[in-house]
Every structure is written in structure tokens, then in C-alpha cells.
Amino acid sequence: MDLAMLRTGFTRSFWVANTLELFERFAYYGSKAVLAVYVAEQVGLGPETAGWLVGSLFNTLLYFLPILAGTIVDRYGFKVSLTACFSIFCVGYFLIGLAGLPAGAPLVALFGAKAYMIGALVITAIGGSLIKPSIVGTVARTTTSETKGLGYSIYYTLVNLGGAIGPLLAMQVRENVGISYVLVMSSVTSLLLVVATLVFFKEPERPADAAPVASMGKVIADMFMVFGNLRFVSFLVIFSGFWAMFWHIFYALPFYVKDVLDYSKFEVIETVDAWTIILVTVPAAALAKALAPIRAMTIGFVLASASWFVMGSFPTLTMTIVAIVIFAIGEATQAPRYYEYVADLAPKEQVGTYMGFAFLPVAIGTFVSGVTSGKLVAHYIGSRGTDGVLVPGPGAAAPQEMWYWVGAIGVASTIGMLLYDRFVAPKPA
């Protein structure tokens, strides 16, 4: 890393934006670490409803809406968008946390717990849709051709640090104050980020040669245009299998760790993926660079799929950690080549439009995982009500077998990737 470039190559707005992103990730991953357990047990909706609300509704909107939100960010600017984002986050996280507090009981009873949580989660997701276009846009606008690569590396490193540290902070709050207050702390953090944005963030200048701001109608038209490219969409759908596996770390694994492995600090286990990514990304990317993109992605899929069979075959805390490390190595192997391959699939004059859909597999994957994780937890572990008593599910005699189903998603996706490469992928001249 060029230390001189690190010191002088980036503007104040670049560092402010990335600092805001780091603390926003603390709030997001802190709440994400406990959210499925919180909705299932503290709010009392059970694992199936919790999986659907947290994964299939909330997180799906969080990763799909940025496709549409980008034009809003372009129109109103990064500072206004970040202020709106953190303001909505502040309200949304507080409403979610209120559902588990005595003070919120009358309001929850008025709407019903499920309807109340739908409203609170949707509000929060709308705010979250503005964060990625704003921060990534600031990085793009405040870097040059010489500093852009390092700038994005800093951004992704801070995102992973948020994923690694946020759940640990959440654990401290949950153990010392209560699980509902994890959401309250995310709300307070968001309020502080509103103040920080207003005081410290300066809108970077829009380049003179920047393209005109696209209308919402143009964005929707582009969406239909991209969806009409069956080769591109088929690749995204196949690739979403990776993320369908990944999100079980947040929607199903916490229940398994605390109720089957009897390890109460489940948030620690959720950070293993992020810490491993931080440690192995550079060497894994160097190895993957020598491989064709499809080959690197397929190897990543094989490693990620194998991790769940390891977890299912060895139901111990140590081997669960080992399995997540294997999964993370697979993630680090495929991730660098994925964006390169998406760019290569896009028509040369529409690369920007197509890259806007690069996060679509994350949205598809979290939607699928929200459904499957809740069903797996209910069947193989059971449900714990607000009274704290666990009612075992039909498959509770062998709960580790739930991970074979997650691994099966990976096997199907790996086969799909091989068939795609053989019959659908464009062939080099």
C-alpha cells in the first residue's frame, strides 16, 4: 500500500464518508446479528415469521431498492441523501426496538405484532436504500484514476470491519442491557450520524462531464431492458445461490449456536466470516486472479457448499467455526471475479446500467434464505416463546442435519454454474 497516497491522495469528503459508513455498518450489523432472534423470541413471532420478515422482506428491500434509489441520490445530492438515510434509520431502528419494550406494548397491540413489525422494517429498509449509492458515489467522485482502486479497497475493508465489530458491540449491549436495546443503540448511532453528516460532510463537486440525472422512468425502463437479457439474468439467478447460503449465518445459525451448541454468545460466531474475509481477501484474490472468472467463481461455490456439509457432519462449536472459515475462503475466492464477469457480460455501451444490478443476487439470496432459514429452525430446532421455553421441532433429534439442506442449495448452484458455462456463457473468440 502506498502510504504517501494514503495520506495525501484522498479528500476530506472521502474520509468523512467512509467514517460515516463504518459507524453505519456498526449499527446495521449489530442489529442484523440479533434481529432474527429478537423478532422470533422477544417480539414472539417465532422463527418462520422472523425469517420471512427479516430476510425475505427487510433485507430484500434493503438490497433491491438501491437500484431505484440511485436516481434520487443523483438528483438531490449525497449530503441530503445521507441525512435522509440516517434520519429514517433513526426512526426505523427505534420503532423496531420499541416492539420488545414494555413502553411499546400498547402500540404493538394496536396494530398487531406482525403488522407493526412489517411497518417498522419497511421504513428502515427505505432509509437503508440510500446509503450505498451515496457512499459509493462519494468514493467515485472523490478519487482519481490513480487512487480509485485503493479508495474502493478502503471502503470494502471498512464495510467488513463493520461486519466484524458490529455484532460484538451488539453482544455487549444484549448481555448487559437487553436485546431490545441493541436496536435502540442502532437508533442512537443513526441520530449521531445525522449530526455528523450535517456538520462534517461536504458535498463533492459534480464533474462537468457527468451524464444528466436519469429519471425514475428511465431507471425502470433500464430495469426491463436488463431483465430482457436472459443470459445475464440467468447468471444472476444462479449466482444468487451463494447468497442464499450466506444469509443463513444471520437467520438460522444464531438459533443453532445458542440452542443446540449451548453457546450464548452467538454474535461472536456471526463475525467469523467477516474476520476471515479481512485476513484472506488479498491472498485469495491473488490466487483467483490466475483463474478464469467462471473457474474462480465455481471453486468459490464448491468451498462454500462444502462448508455446510462440514457443519452438519461435525456438530461442535469448533467445527462450526472451521466451517464458516471455509465458507469465507470460498467467498473471498469468487468475489473479486464476480464484478469483473458482470462487467464483461454487459454490452459495452451499457456497463454502468448493468453494474447497477450486480447486487440483485444478494436480494434474491436473502429472499430465499428468509423463507428456508425459518422453516429449518422451526423443524430442526423448534420455537422459543416470550416465556423462554424451547418447544422442540419434529427434527430436533438431529438438528445438525439442517445444514445439509443449505449445502444442497450450494450444490444445485454449482451445477447450475457449470451448465451455464457449458451451454449459455459467451465463448471467447
Mean pLDDT taken over the chain = 92
Asked if residue 30 lies in contact with residue 367, where contact means CB atoms within 8 angstroms, the answer is no
pLDDT given for residue 415 in this prediction: 97
79-93, 244-258, 275-289: segment of lowest average pLDDT = 275-289
Which pLDDT value is given to residue 4?
56
Taken in order of first residue, the domains within the chain and their CATH numbers are 1-199 (1.20.1250.20), 214-429 (1.20.1250.20)
pLDDT at 5: 56
**pLDDT tens by residue, 16-46:** 999 999 999 999 999 999 999 999 999 999 9
- pLDDT value of position 10: 86
Q: Of 51 and 339, which is predicted with more confidence?
A: 51
Label residue 244 by pLDDT band (50, 70, 90).
Answer: very high
**Mean of pLDDT values over 95-106:** 97
- Return the SS3 of 44: coil
- Predicted confidence at residue 43, as pLDDT, reads 96
Which residue, among 197, 320, 346, has the nearest Cα to 252 in the 3D structure? 320
What are residue 390's phi and psi, to 5 degrees?
Answer: -85, 125
Residue 200: Cβ within 10 Å count: 14
Q: What are the Cα distances from residue 277, in Å, to 116, 299, 368, 390, 415?
A: 36, 16, 23, 34, 25
Average pLDDT over residues 371-385: 95
What's the pLDDT band for 151 if we cut at 50, 70, 90? confident
Q: Is the pLDDT of residue 255 over 60?
A: yes
Tell me the pTM: 0.93
Read off the C-alpha cell for 57.
422482506
Closest CA to 257 of 328, 364, 167, 159: 167
Confidence of residue 291 (pLDDT cuts 50, 70, 90): confident
Q: Is the pLDDT of residue 426 over 90?
A: no
Looking at the DSSP assignment, which residues form a beta bridge with residue 390? 384
- Closest C-alpha to 211, from 202, 197, 201, 222: 222
pLDDT, greater one: 411 or 145: 411
**132-141, 157-166, 420-429 — most confident range:** 157-166
| Dihedral sign computed on CA atoms, order 139, 141, 147, 149 | positive
* pLDDT for position 72: 87
Residue 320, phi then psi, degrees to nearest 5? -65, -40
With a cut of 60, say whether residue 2 has pLDDT above it. no
For residue range 324-340, what is the model confidence (pLDDT) as tens digits? 999 999 999 998 788 88
- Confidence at residue 396, expressed as pLDDT on a 0 to 100 scale: 96
Is there a contact between 242 and 334 (Cβ–Cβ < 8 Å)? yes
- Determine the Cα–Cα distance for residues 262 and 257; give it in Å rounded to an integer: 6
Own/partner pairs, 2-5, CB within 8 angstroms, 24+ separation: 2/150, 5/146, 5/147, 5/150
| Dist CA 379 CA 399 (whole Å) | 8
The confidence score (pLDDT) of residue 209 equals 67
User: What residues have CB less than 8 Å from 385, skipping those under 6 apart?
Assistant: 41, 44, 46, 391
End-to-end CA distance of the chain: 36
Task: Flag whether pLDDT at 429 surpasses 60.
Answer: no
Q: What's the average model confidence in pLDDT over 281-303?
A: 88
pLDDT of residue 288: 79
Confidence at residue 30, expressed as pLDDT on a 0 to 100 scale: 97
356 near 69, Cβ under 8 Å?
A: no
The backbone torsions φ and ψ at residue 382, rounded to the nearest 5 degrees and listed phi first, read 125, -165
Q: 353: which residues sit within 8 A by CB, 6+ positions away?
A: 222, 225, 226, 346
